Amino acid sequence: MIVRQQHGRDESMHSCWPPDAVVWPQNVEQVSRMAKLCYTHNIPIIPFGTGTGLEGGVSALKGGVCFNMTHMERILNLSTEDFHVTVEPGVTRKSLNTYLRDSGLWFPVDPGADASLCGMAATSASGTNAVRYGTMRDNVINLEVVLPDGRVLDTAGKDRRFRKTSAGYNLTNLFVGSEGTLGIITKATLRLYGVPEATVAAVCAFPSVQAAVDSTVQILQCGVPIARIEFLDDVMIDACNKFNSMNYPVLPTLFLEFHGTEAAVKEQLQQTGEIIQLNGGSDFTWAQDQQERTRLWTARHNAWYAALALRPGCRGYSTDVCVPISKLPEILVDTREDLIQSCITGPIAGHVGDGNFHCIIVLDLNDEDEVRRVKEFTDRLARRALAMHGTCTGEHGIGIGKRSLLREEVGEVGIQVMEQIKATLDPKNLMNPGKVVV
């Protein structure tokens, strides 16, 4: 029972819905055979990677069999000349980059958690480097997918690893972001990048949220090819200081990182520094050597756990709206005011370089009034983003809790088309049922 419960929830606040059974396939042939058995006997299938999702995507709402994919952990077909690699579902972001360490290449998509790369494809994850390197949707070249009836599909053709194509429908991106509702990803071919010659990280504080986000917009408008630009409000900085034994000023703060040649990085730093000074920002706190940069970004990646530490014994819920960059100052200022008026603990952290930010809400699930206030706040936040021509989820996915918001975002015709795709590929509604559109 303990194993089933462990596979019935992720890092979200959603209730645990354990599967009826858990299996650990070792290869694609076993996945295919087990999928055929489930299809024949009308048994739901729930793919499971590392369980680091934030929208209840692994909950077995209708029971069924959980396919834990972590025993398929080979790294295949690395090509340093063509800048690509193929991985199985058990390979995580950190393990891939450790493997690549001596190749001069790396995989930059970084959602914070050491998530499964195929799970990241399934949720169209992104993270701190997306402003320069894009999201999973931009970096998946090909997928091997076991369909609900056990057939094996190569979305771009068997073993094909080209940089671009005009051949037919884009089946690869159909499965990127499908959250396990259309098939089980058993291999992903990913785009790699050269390790930059120079990397410098910096931190600077601002007198207000408006000043910090105005700086972000202006840095991007000036064409600075910044690799990371992360925003933490004063509540989040205070939590990170306490959790990581750091002493940054308790003010709205930007964490930045610059990649390139020594000369290019120097130029980026100069341009960025001038913009920050014009907006009243502090002098940079530098981090150039690997150990210090790792310490800095570990603090940012630990933001979720730092927020939870503000209220021990409570649960966390992370919002993740995304808006056009020009709307960032407005929505962040409005959101901060809404949090204060609603008496909600919700430090803000965001990948502001691409318009995506999170309120990491910490709440007592036994306090019905607080749960109600949080639900009303998150709905207001999502609809505020939609009103600004944004999205209700920049990277976490729809999962259980955002299905009604998805309908508002894409409209009735959009939902109908998604339902038709789902019905075509999964006519028995066995693949991760109850998520996204059905």
Which CATH topology does 75-194 take?
3.30.465
pLDDT tens digits, residue range 18-63?
Answer: 999 999 999 999 999 999 999 999 999 999 999 989 899 999 999 9
With a pLDDT cut of 90, the percent of the chain lying above it is 82
60 secondary structure, DSSP code = -
Q: How far apart are CA 38 and CA 65, in angstroms?
A: 8
pLDDT at 127 over 90: no
pTM for the model stands at 0.93
pLDDT tens digits, residue range 400-425?
Answer: 989 999 999 999 999 999 999 999 99
Return the residue matching tokens 């354990």: 18
Element (H, E) at 218: helix 209-221
Q: How far apart are CA 135 and CA 321, in angstroms?
A: 15
Nearest to 291 by CA among 201, 205, 360, 373: 201
| Cβ atoms 239, 306 nearer than 8 A | yes
**Least confident span in 128-132, 175-179, 290-294:** 290-294
Q: Which CATH architecture describes the domain 198-305?
A: 2-Layer Sandwich (3.30)
Q: How far apart are CA 255 and CA 203, in angstroms?
A: 5
| Cβ atoms 231, 259 nearer than 8 A | no
Q: In what order do the strands lie in the sheet with 45-48?
A: 21-23, 65-68, 45-48
Q: How far apart are CA 171 and CA 393, in angstroms?
A: 22
Please state, in angstroms and as integers, the Cα–Cα distance from residue 407 to each residue in 99, 143, 321, 421, following that order.
41, 27, 15, 15
| Cβ atoms 319, 382 nearer than 8 A | yes
DSSP output for 158-207: TT---S---SSS-HHHHHTT-TTSS-EEEEEEEE-EEPPSEEEEEEEE-S
Burial 159-188 (b: 16+ CB within 10 A, else e): eebeeeeeeeeebbbbbbbbbbbbbbbbbb
Q: How far apart are CA 102 and CA 346, in angstroms?
A: 41
**Amino acid present at 174:** L
Same CATH topology for 2-68 and 75-194?
no
pLDDT tens digits, residue range 230-269?
Answer: 999 999 999 999 999 888 999 999 999 999 999 999 999 9
Q: How far apart are CA 205 and CA 248, in angstroms?
A: 8
Average pLDDT, the chain: 94
The per-residue pLDDT for 300 is: 81
CATH number 3.30.43.10 given to 2-68: yes
Nearby residues of 412 by Cβ (< 8 Å), 6 or more positions away: none
Domain boundaries, the chain: 2-68, 75-194, 198-305
> C-alpha angle 430/436/438, rounded to 5°?
50
